[in-house]
């Protein structure tokens, strides 16, 4: 708003200067000229410059007609034609910037025709008009092209950002589905093998709650992918408690320890959440029933997350999407990642993400 007001003030100042110059050019050669005639006619030439951004074509037409009027009625001598031509150049530039090529070229031809005719119509006058007014038009049209390119680049950048965000959300679907289906599968297996109705009921209750939570989160993500709705907030460190509770329902005794009070950027918080989610999913699938410790240390320089369990461990690391996804999340921030058997048995995942 302030920038626009500044431009309007510049236009008003330019119009005032041209008004004074044109009026002076009318009054100077003739001591008997009446200011009551010269000042209004000079205003008719100059005032359109102040409103050229609102009505560019109208401003050019009025300025051009007024210039022709004062010259043809000999109120303004031809030798002083430069002052009103300055107003014409202002208006022509605005037409070249704001109107398409057809309109601006038509305005250029009309302006050259009138200006060259008023100055005598000689070849030299035509060449001077073509050179001066053509340069003004070229500058304005180049400005229009540059603005158009910037608008397209801005629109493309916005579309790319939205596409990237939707791709990120699509990847989040994998984490949501994998985590919750793993919990459901474990509890379904428990329900199929237990003989106690109470234990079967507890397993089915976990399946029911986990299914509803997964469907709710997936509906939100798919809603963003299928529409232009606002993107929902991403889970972060605050969601680790619910994550640990869901894993506990699947038979994994989770101890959560979050240390530090520093503010964590949203992207890093989401990555820490997903790394912990994927690590807990692996514990549920491969080590349950087991005890698991989730340690998150937050400092001003980095966020470190460690997930360790006391299960049977693995003989060799797999190549599933879980570990690959965790490595990718850490690599985005230039952090470090390791996963493998723990010193005292079980399996241990450690990731450190620097806070930039």
Residue 229: the pLDDT is 46
Whether the predicted pLDDT of 8 surpasses 80: no
Residue 94: the pLDDT is 87
Summarize the confidence of residues 305-326 as an average pLDDT: 69
pLDDT tens for each residue of 199-234? 666 666 666 666 666 666 665 555 555 544 444 556
C-alpha span between 123 and 178 (Å, rounded): 81
Residue 1: the pLDDT is 54
Summarize the confidence of residues 45-56 as an average pLDDT: 83
Summarize the confidence of residues 238-251 as an average pLDDT: 82
The domain boundary residue, chosen from 121, 154, 169: 121
Is residue 351 a part of any domain in this protein?
A: yes
pTM to 2 decimal places: 0.47
Q: Please, are residues 29 and 1 in contact by the beta-carbon 8 Å criterion?
A: no
Mean pLDDT (the chain) is 76
Residue 211: the pLDDT is 67
Residue 67: the pLDDT is 84
pLDDT tens for each residue of 245-302? 888 877 788 888 988 877 787 778 888 888 888 888 888 877 767 888 999 999 888 8
Higher pLDDT, 234 or 330: 330
Is residue 291 a part of any domain in this protein?
A: yes
Is residue 296 a part of any domain in this protein?
A: yes
Residue 304: the pLDDT is 93
Is residue 18 a part of any domain in this protein?
A: yes
C-alpha span between 295 and 333 (Å, rounded): 20
Is residue 26 a part of any domain in this protein?
A: yes
Of the candidate ranges 53-67, 142-156, 228-242, 301-315, the one whose mean pLDDT is the lowest: 228-242
Residue 295: the pLDDT is 92
Is residue 166 a part of any domain in this protein?
A: no
Q: Please, are residues 310 and 346 in contact by the beta-carbon 8 Å criterion?
A: yes
Give kind and range of the element (H or E) at residue 253: strand 252-259
**Domains contained in the chain, number:** 2
Residue 351: the pLDDT is 93
Residue 231: the pLDDT is 47
Residue 158: the pLDDT is 72
Residues 6+ apart with CB under 8 A from 69: 41, 44
The domain boundary residue, chosen from 86, 121, 156: 121
Summarize the confidence of residues 302-325 as an average pLDDT: 72
Helix 101-118 with 56-72: angle, nearest 10 deg: 10
Is residue 146 a part of any domain in this protein?
A: no
| CATH number for position 287 | 3.30.565.10
The domain boundary residue, chosen from 59, 90, 121: 121
Summarize the confidence of residues 175-189 as an average pLDDT: 62
Distance between terminal CA atoms of the chain?
Answer: 34
pLDDT tens for each residue of 99-109? 888 888 888 88
Q: Please give the residue range of the domain that contains residue 73.
A: 2-121
């Amino acid at each position: 708003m302030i920038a626009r007001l500044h431009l309007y003030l510049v236009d008003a100042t330019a119009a005032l200067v041209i008004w004074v110059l044109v009026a002076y050019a009318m009054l100077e050669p003739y001591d008997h000229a009446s200011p009551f005639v010269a000042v209004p006619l000079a205003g008719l030439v100059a005032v359109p410059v102040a409103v050229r951004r609102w009505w560019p074509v109208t401003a050019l037409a009025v300025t051009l007609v007024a210039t022709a009027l004062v010259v043809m009625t000999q109120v303004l001598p031809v030798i002083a034609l430069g002052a009103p031509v300055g107003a014409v150049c202002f208006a022509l530039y605005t037409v070249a910037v704001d109107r398409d090529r057809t309109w601006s070229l038509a305005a250029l031809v009309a302006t050259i025709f009138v200006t060259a005719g008023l100055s005598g119509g000689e070849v030299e006058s035509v060449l001077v008009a073509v050179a001066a007014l053509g340069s003004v038009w070229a500058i304005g049209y180049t400005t229009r092209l540059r603005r158009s390119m910037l608008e397209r680049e801005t629109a493309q950048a916005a579309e790319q950002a939205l596409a990237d965000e939707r791709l990120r959300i699509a990847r989040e679907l994998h984490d949501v589905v994998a985590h919750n289906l793993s919990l459901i599968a474990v509890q379904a297996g428990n329900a199929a093998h237990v003989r106690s109705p109470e234990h079967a009921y507890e397993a089915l209750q976990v399946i029911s709650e986990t299914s509803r939570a997964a469907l709710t989160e997936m509906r939100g993500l798919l809603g963003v992918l299928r529409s232009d709705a606002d993107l929902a907030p991403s889970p972060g460190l605050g969601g680790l408690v619910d994550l640990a509770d869901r894993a506990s329902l699947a038979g994994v005794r989770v101890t959560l320890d979050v240390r530090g009070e520093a503010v964590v950027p949203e992207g890093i918080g989401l990555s820490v959440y997903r790394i912990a989610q994927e690590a807990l999913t692996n514990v549920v699938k491969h080590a349950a029933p087991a005890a698991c410790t989730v340690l998150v240390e937050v400092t001003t320089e980095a966020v470190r997350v460690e997930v360790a369990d006391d299960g049977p461990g693995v003989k060799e690391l797999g190549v599933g999407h879980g570990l690959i996804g965790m490595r990718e999340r850490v690599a985005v921030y230039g952090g470090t990642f390791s996963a493998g058997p723990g010193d005292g048995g079980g399996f241990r995942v450690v990731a450190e993400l620097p806070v930039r």
